[in-house]
Amino acid sequence: MPELQVSVVLPYYLRLAEGDYQTSQAGEVVQVVAPLLLEGTVPCTSVRALFTPEESADLDEMHKRRVRCGEQLLRRINRLLRWYRSVSRQADITELTRAQVSPFQFAATGAAPPAEWTAPLEYEAVGPQPAVLTLEQTTQAVHDGLASGNDPDVADLFLLDAERALHQGRFRETVLFCWSTIDSVFNRRYGALVDAALLDEWGEARDFFKGLDFKLRNKMSAGMHLVANRSLFREPGDFWQRLSASYSKRNAIIHRGENASEDEATQAVAVARQIVRIMREV
């Protein structure tokens, strides 16, 4: 298989010298291309990298390998953007989603491969979806909310913040917004369930079930099974695995300053939404 050059145009103009930018991993390079500064147009920076995917004649495999090349390029770009943002102190330079740099353009540097290898790879942006309500429904709900004297539930506002952060390419913030939502919604409801189930038990025992020593995933599994007969560990499919992976990513961000990918941020939103739904059902 000849080398494939994958390139995208960023929605930003980066004041960087043209050339190769090497990451900490040997051979992992992203190349910054000097922008065309045409009068009357907004300058944008192009970046590209070379990849050598394994040969395949299967169309599905071709697509998967092209997707993998695009994702590897985007990871390098986002690392470059994090450093550029830090050095330049430009707060509006944030990481990018696949849709924000779409289309990914492919070109062969040697012998021409089948056309399926070099077709553009496009992603469609899907932002936060507003509720489908009539004018009367929206008006009445806002009237009722204001008259109640309360603010909207933290879960509703934090999940909207998480969706907005995901759409803007702020993946670490997405994960943290989601786990702030989970911590708030789960612990408040779980505490009420423990108090109701153990009403006549020793107070220190109740406090143990609700305290930090009884770890969060213990509460979500055995604790929930005991007090509500609804363990998150027993939810259908791979939900517990996805929850645990997202929880580990949250800890890695907080304790080790790690970054998050678009897929990890998307997974955090899905996990948070399911936990909020479950805790409102029990």
**Mean of the pLDDT values across residues 119-134?**
84
95/143 same-domain check: no
109/140 same-domain check: no
Q: Model confidence over 200-245: pLDDT tens digits?
A: 889 888 899 988 889 999 999 999 999 999 999 999 999 999 999 9
Exposure string for 76-102, b = 16+ CB within 10 A, e = fewer:
bbbbbbeebbeeeeeeebbbbbbbbbb
88/161 same-domain check: no
pLDDT number for residue 37:
66
11/65 same-domain check: yes
**Are 171 and 262 contacting, i.e. CB atoms less than 8 angstroms apart?**
yes
pTM (2 d.p.) = 0.82
141/267 same-domain check: yes
In a domain, 127, yes or no: no
Classify 63 as helix, strand or coil: helix
Computed over every residue of the chain, the mean pLDDT equals: 90
Q: Model confidence over 45-96: pLDDT tens digits?
A: 999 999 988 888 788 888 999 999 999 999 999 999 999 999 999 988 989 9
107/234 same-domain check: no
The yes-or-no verdict on residue 113 having pLDDT over 80 is: no
Which residues constitute the domain of residue 149?
135-281
118, 148, 174: which is the final residue of a domain?
118
114/139 same-domain check: no
Which is nearest to 79 in space by CA: 188, 169, 213, 180? 169
Query: If pLDDT is split at 50, 70 and 90, which confidence band does 40 have?
Result: low
Q: Any idea what the CATH number is for the domain that residue 266 is in?
A: 1.20.120
The yes-or-no verdict on residue 39 having pLDDT over 70 is: no
pLDDT number for residue 38:
63
In a domain, 257, yes or no: yes
57/24 same-domain check: yes
In a domain, 89, yes or no: yes
Dihedral (CA of 252, 159, 166, 235) sign: positive
In a domain, 125, yes or no: no
277/139 same-domain check: yes
In a domain, 181, yes or no: yes
10 Å Cβ neighbour count for 268? 29
217/266 same-domain check: yes
64, 88, 118: which is the final residue of a domain?
118
In a domain, 178, yes or no: yes
108/139 same-domain check: no
In a domain, 224, yes or no: yes
For 30, list phi and psi in degrees, rounded to 5.
-125, 135
Domains identified in the chain, total number: 2
85, 118, 151: which is the final residue of a domain?
118
% of the chain exceeding 90 in pLDDT: 66
pLDDT number for residue 101:
94
pLDDT number for residue 26:
67
In a domain, 124, yes or no: no
Report the alpha-carbon distance of residue 17 to residue 20 in Å, rounded. Answer: 9
233/165 same-domain check: yes
